[in-house]
């Protein structure tokens, strides 16, 4: 596993911790057919150490964040949580979504007067199926996910409906 470890406000032994993290993360390689990339951020604020790990393989993203008073406990818990997430992801990939994912068009008027954009984000998108996009959305804990549909090479948005089902927005240009 390729790793990129960054520290923010951390006052410990960087080199030793990097070696320990790389060794522990290498044990997760068995779950991936290709070489994954792990971005790790270790930050310390008022004695509380937060370990954030984001693993990228092809178009799959896995992210965990754990805080603890001890840096090694935070790192160990984050790796355990990541492994659990990987196993959960593998199980979900084995099962197929049985319901058809379609978006029912609705004619709702949205007032533009109160619209205020508070955050803007740019990111790369990779081709994937609607089922993979739904899985990514669940793994990231988001309510929607923008992706490039591998079937028709169009940008689509999958979202979670209030009834727990999924909706798919397929824009026409």
Does the domain at 97-105+121-173 match CATH 3.30.505.50? Answer given as yes
pLDDT per position as a tens digit, 29-61 = 888 878 888 999 999 988 899 999 998 887 788
Report pLDDT for 113: 53
Residue 59 CB-density burial (10 A; 0-12 exposed, 13-18 middle, 19+ buried): middle
pLDDT per position as a tens digit, 60-98 = 888 999 999 999 999 999 999 999 988 887 777 666 443
Report pLDDT for 172: 84
Half-sphere exposure of 75 (CA within 13 A, CB side): 21
Tokens of 155: 């940008």
Report whether 168 contacts 157 (CB < 8 A). yes
Q: How far is Cα 25 from Cα 20, in angstroms, rounded to an integer?
A: 9
Residue with tokens 């084995």: 94
Sketch the domain layout of the chain as residue ranges: 2-94, 97-105+121-173
Does pTM surpass 0.85? no
Tokens of 19: 């070696």
Report pLDDT for 48: 92
Superfamily of domain 2-94: Ribosome hibernation promotion factor-like (3.30.160.100)
Q: In the structure, what pLDDT confidence band is assigned to residue 157 with cuts at 50, 70 and 90?
A: very high
Q: What is the largest CA-CA distance in the chain?
A: 59
109: helix, coil or strand? coil
Q: How far is Cα 156 from Cα 145, in angstroms, rounded to an integer?
A: 8
pLDDT per position as a tens digit, 92-149 = 766 644 333 444 444 444 444 567 788 888 888 889 999 999 998 888 888 899 999 9
Percent of the chain with pLDDT over 90: 39
Report whether 166 contacts 134 (CB < 8 A). yes
């Amino acid at each position: 596993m390729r790793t990129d470890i960054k520290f923010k406000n951390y006052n410990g032994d960087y080199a030793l911790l990097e070696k320990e993290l790389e060794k522990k993360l290498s044990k997760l390689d068995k779950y991936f057919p290709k070489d994954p990339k792990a971005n790790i951020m270790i930050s310390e604020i008022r004695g509380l150490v937060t370990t954030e790990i984001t693993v990228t393989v092809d178009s799959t993203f896995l992210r965990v964040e754990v805080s603890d008073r001890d840096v090694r406990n935070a790192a160990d818990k984050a790796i355990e949580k990541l492994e659990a997430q990987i196993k959960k992801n593998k199980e979900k990939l084995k099962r197929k979504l049985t319901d058809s994912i379609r978006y029912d068009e609705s004619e709702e008027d949205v007032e533009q007067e109160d619209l205020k954009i508070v955050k803007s984000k740019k990111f790369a998108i990779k081709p994937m199926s609607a089922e993979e996009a739904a899985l990514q959305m669940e793994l990231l804990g988001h309510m929607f996910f923008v992706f490039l549909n591998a079937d028709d090479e169009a940008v689509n948005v999958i979202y979670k409906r209030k009834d727990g089902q999924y909706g798919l927005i397929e824009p026409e240009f």
